[in-house]
Amino acid sequence: MSKVPVLVTGGAGYIGSHAVLALRDAGWAVAVIDDLSTGARYLLPEDVPFYEGNVADRELVDRIFAEQKIGAIIHFAGSIVVPESVEKPLDYYRNNTVASHALMSAAVDAGVPHFVFSSTAAVYGEPERVPVDESVAKLPINPYGASKLMTERMLEDSAAAHPINYAALRYFNVSGADPSGRSGQVGKGSTHLIKVAVEAAVGKRDHIDVFGTDYPTDDGSCVRDYIHVSDLVAAHVKALERLIEKPEENLVLNLAYGRGLSVLEVLDALDRLLPEPMPR
């Protein structure tokens, strides 16, 4: 299998920067585009070609393709906060769907043959059954999930019409950081439970709120499937390898462990590592 140069969009963000590290560790040539609205340049190795800008900037994207001889795209760039998507739906359709359309159009025109897309379990909405597999009906209940599902549909239709194949990887809840300490979740205002809990544990927050104690679970708190970010990005590398090995195939896959932890179980696990429990 040939290792083509890869463009990582949103590569200075939380998941994107980990993907860059995973690709580089595996011997891939990588370039990054990021508008730095939520990312940080210092999360990337200094010698990674970096372009500050938006994936909807066709002139810039075309230049990156030409300069870096891009042979594949891993697309993380976009907006990801569910409540914000409800407050600002048009922003999410612009940042996630319209910008992805521009990137896909550039890829098709330039003949970039492989596209890995950062999708979400939010495409399922309130799933009809648990555990959730890829055959569950896609009925998103917020603009974030809808904007991602629209992008998946564009990829499906583009792959049917053009010589490009794709992987749509639907994440559940991502957590953790690079074991070597090279990157992590550094954005301000995080809503991710584990990061919020760790901030409370080290004194960056004075307490942690638990929202909802009447879920139909053993302890009444919400259950989520948490996947470590290093495992998540390793799956992206594997997906890219598969696309190159099987150019006639596409992939649509959930990324999770298949087991859940409740909010209280996560907090209790952290409490066991502390001299005294976190204030809640």
Which residues are the active-site residues? 144
Cα–Cα nearest to 215, from 165, 269, 151, 265 = 265
Query: Are the CB atoms for 210 and 280 separated by under 8 Å?
Result: yes
Cα–Cα nearest to 138, from 252, 250, 255 = 252
Helices 193-201 & 263-271, crossing angle to 10 degrees?
A: 30
Quote the DSSP letter at residue 198.
H
Query: Are the CB atoms for 154 and 146 separated by under 8 Å?
Result: no
Query: Are the CB atoms for 136 and 129 separated by under 8 Å?
Result: yes
Query: Are the CB atoms for 79 and 144 separated by under 8 Å?
Result: yes
Q: DSSP string covering 76-128, please?
A: --S---HHHHHHSHHHHIIIIIIHHHHHHHHHHHHT--EEEEEEEGGGGSS-S
State the virtual CA torsion across 175, 180, 186, 192 in degrees, nearest 10.
10
Burial annotation 22-48 (CB, 10 A radius, 16+ → b, else e) = bbbeeebbbbbbbbeebbeeebbeeeb
**Own/partner pairs for 157-160, CB < 8 Å, 24+ apart?**
158/104, 158/108, 159/250
DSSP H or E run through 16 = helix 14-25
